[in-house]
A and B are shown apart, each in its own frame.
Chain A
Amino acid sequence: MSESSSDKLLGRRRFLTRAVLGGGAAIVGATALGALTPQAAQAAAQRTASLGPGQVDPNFAEGRIVSVNGGMLMVSGSDGTLHRIAVTNGTSLWKLRPTTLDQAKVGDGLYARGVRLPDGVLAADAVWFNIVNLETHIVAVGSKALQLDHRGQRIVGNVVPGTTAAVYNGTPAVSDLSLIQVGRHAQVIGAWRPDTNQVDIATIHTAA
């Protein structure tokens, strides 16, 4: 399987975020994000470089959206931490597929990576809304959904026409789901439908 070009894109966005944060020419971005100085941007980069094993990553956040105000997401972390996450035109957004900020809804779960500013705001390079990566067993196969077992819990995996893809034995992703078999294990990357036991499947990895 070949990785998509999203890594290159994400790397470029990280570069752009840092350029916005540290560059004097990017006045609009810097103002919107709290006018981070080059020194502060450098300090943030050094914090990342010195991040030790097991440590909480200050430049990462998870939780559920409690409000969306312009480009600022207020997020309640699962551990009770309140995060402010700034989204700019340079932020990579994913919700089942690459998406736009208007698709971010109150109640969505998320993971975000970026640069933590001195005022506590996380300037996001990338935000993944509702993303899950589940290790499952396939219980039943239908044309519109798969029944999956995940750690003893039943999960409904919805097939999304035009989006859902299957990777069989590590081969390139295909839209043909006909080789999915009951009883096989499967890794499902998808988007959770908040407060349900359902996910929309982006990619399912399984054995043919």
Chain B
Amino acid sequence: MANAQPPSPATPMTCEASWFCCGTAWGPCGGAGGGACGNCNSGSMQCAWPNASQACFDETRPDECGQSLLRWGCGHTFYVGGLCNGANITVSIADCGPHTNYWCGERTCCGNGKCATDRLIDLTPAAFSHVSSLSNGLTAVSVHS
């Protein structure tokens, strides 16, 4: 199991990323609301972070996967790179998630051989679709502050 470093400019980490819907939406996403920060929107360049607050951390428990992530609150900016397609984006924290501890040790690999382990960030559909197809559901990314 990989043990990612806290994401900082000096220590970018690699991890899995999925996507989630929020804000006004159709279908099963209709009740998602604005997320933990109140301003989450599927069409915006935003993300969810497992250590956005103590209450958030208590739900997502990345430490159970051996991951020690810094606490970053609403609005904090991450730089995300798609390991599969090379795209680079910037996103801000708008929600709590993913449930990292549900998926400890899970690994996703790209066609180019690059791989990443553990779900440490979720992206809105607008953000995820820069780094992968939504139909993939999961992809491998690099993340730093």
Contact = CB atoms under 8 A, between A and B. Distances in A.
Interface of A: 1-8, 10-11, 51-57, 60-64, 77-79, 92, 94, 109, 111, 113, 126, 128, 130-135, 150-151, 153, 155, 169-170, 185, 187, 189, 192, 194, 197, 199, 202-203, 205
B70 interface: no
B129 A53 contact: no
Given A10-B85, A56-B126, A133-B18, 10 more contacts: A7-B110, A7-B136, A11-B85, A54-B45, A56-B41, A56-B43, A60-B43, A128-B133, A185-B102, A205-B138
Contacts, number: 157
Given A3-B139, A79-B23, A170-B106, A54 B94 contact: yes
B105 A170 contact: yes
A78 B25 contact: yes
Interface of B: 18-21, 23-29, 31, 39, 41-46, 75, 77-78, 84-85, 89-92, 94, 98-99, 102-103, 105-111, 125-127, 129-130, 132-140
B28 A199 contact: yes
A132 B138 contact: no
Given A51-B45, A111-B134, A5 B129 contact: no
Contacts of A187: 18, 137-138
A153 B43 contact: no
B110 A2 contact: yes
B129 A126 contact: yes
Contacts of B103: 170, 205
B125 A189 contact: no
Contact of B46 (A54, A64, A126, A205): A54
A1 B107 contact: yes
Q: Chain B contact residues: over half helix, strand or loop, or mixed? A: mixed
22 contacts: A3-B84, A3-B110, A6-B133, A7-B139, A53-B92, A57-B43, A62-B25, A64-B26, A78-B24, A92-B133, A109-B27, A111-B125, A128-B133, A130-B27, A133-B18, A135-B98, A169-B105, A170-B103, A170-B105, A170-B108, A192-B27, A194-B27
A111 B129 contact: yes
B28 A150 contact: yes
B43 A6 contact: no
A126 B132 CA distance: 11
Contacts of A194: 27
